[in-house]
Amino acid sequence: MTVSAVVGERALVLCDTRKPDNTIELHFEASYGTITRHQWFGDGYILVGFSGGQSVAISTCMNDFLLWDE
C-alpha cells in the first residue's frame, strides 16, 4: 500500500508501507503555486491541484514507468 502526504505545500511524498526505505518525493514547478489538494483515483493514480489553477495527474504504477524505457 502506498500513502501520500503534502510536505511544505510544494512537495508530495509517496511511501510504500511495505518498503518504507523506498520513499519518493515529488517537487513541482514554483509557477504552479502551492499544492491545495491531492486525491487518489482509479488504480494507483493521483490528481494534484495547485493554487495557480493547474492540475497534474500522476501514475504510481511501475508498468507505466517502464513504457518510457522503450
C-alpha distances (whole Å) from 36 to each of 15, 21, 28, 56, 68 are 20, 27, 13, 12, 29
Task: Output the pLDDT for position 39.
Answer: 98
Local confidence band at 4 (pLDDT 50, 70, 90 cut-offs): very high
Local confidence band at 65 (pLDDT 50, 70, 90 cut-offs): low
Task: Output the pLDDT for position 64.
Answer: 59
**Residue 70, pLDDT above cutoff 50:** no
Q: Order across the sheet with 55-59: list the strands.
A: 35-41, 45-50, 55-59
Q: Which residues contact 49 (CB under 8 A, 6 or more apart)?
A: 35, 36, 37, 38, 55
The answer to whether 23 and 29 are in contact (CB under 8 A) is no
Lowest mean pLDDT among 18-27, 43-52, 56-65: 56-65
